[in-house]
A and B are shown apart, each in its own frame.
Chain A
């Protein structure tokens, strides 16, 4: 069965360190998204990609970067971790409207990565 996985599931790091969170999907979806979930804020979009070599900033992109070198993976990098980046991070993917011809495609979510920055 197709799936979307995230690693690590839990991470503790120190302020100033670079951290990379992995996201891998086997749906063969063109669209991939990174969100962070914080109490009282719901899910907020960090970065997204509509295909290989395409990346875009979301609502809360400062301090984060992504790169898309293949269809399956969209790693999220925290350049210099800050305590404000302590959060739960979710990756999601969806089929592109241009592929399916159906607007409003469902996003499929990974299990999340819980990150603590000390």
Chain B
């Protein structure tokens, strides 16, 4: 069975600082990996995803993530945090033949002015 672990339910960073949100997964087959963002009182929006090919994936709003098979990780980064990045972030996994998503428990990102 697939699972996703997001380390840190709350992360605070200063405006302009590096954002690093951690995600580790377990899957018995090559995974497809996703990061979604949820702004207050809204649905989830895709930030980026990895399916095949290049392991460094760039997404919207300056975010990127790198798939590291040896570490079973898919951490999300952004070089310089902006106030508008304050939101909840979810990592999710699926695999070939299984179009369902398994989500992590989420990380709430707070930006300190």
Contacts and interface: CB of A to CB of B under 8 A. Distances in A.
Interface of A: 31, 33, 35, 40-45, 48, 50, 58, 90, 92, 94, 96-97, 102-112
A102 B99 contact: no
B90 A102 contact: no
A43 B103 contact: yes
Given A43-B90, A104-B32, A104-B51, A109 B43 contact: yes
A34 to B, nearest CB: 11
A50 B44 contact: no
A68 B43 CA distance: 22
B105 A45 contact: no
Given A40-B105, A97-B99, A103-B96, A109 B90 contact: no
A49 to B, nearest CB: 11
A44 B46 CA distance: 17
A96 B99 contact: yes
Contact of B94 (A42, A102, A104, A111): A104
24 contacts: A33-B100, A33-B101, A35-B103, A41-B105, A42-B90, A42-B103, A42-B104, A42-B106, A44-B103, A45-B100, A45-B101, A45-B102, A48-B100, A94-B99, A97-B99, A103-B51, A103-B52, A104-B50, A104-B51, A104-B52, A106-B46, A107-B46, A111-B43, A112-B43
Contacts of B46: 106-108
A116 to B, nearest CB: 15
Interface string B77-113: 0000000000000100010100111111110000000
A15 B106 CA distance: 29
A33 B34 CA distance: 16
A55 B46 CA distance: 25
Interface string B33-59: 010100001111110011110000000
B104 to A, nearest CB: 6
B49 A106 contact: yes
A90 B99 contact: no
Given A35-B103, A103-B32, 8 more contacts: A33-B100, A42-B104, A43-B90, A43-B101, A45-B100, A45-B101, A94-B99, A106-B46
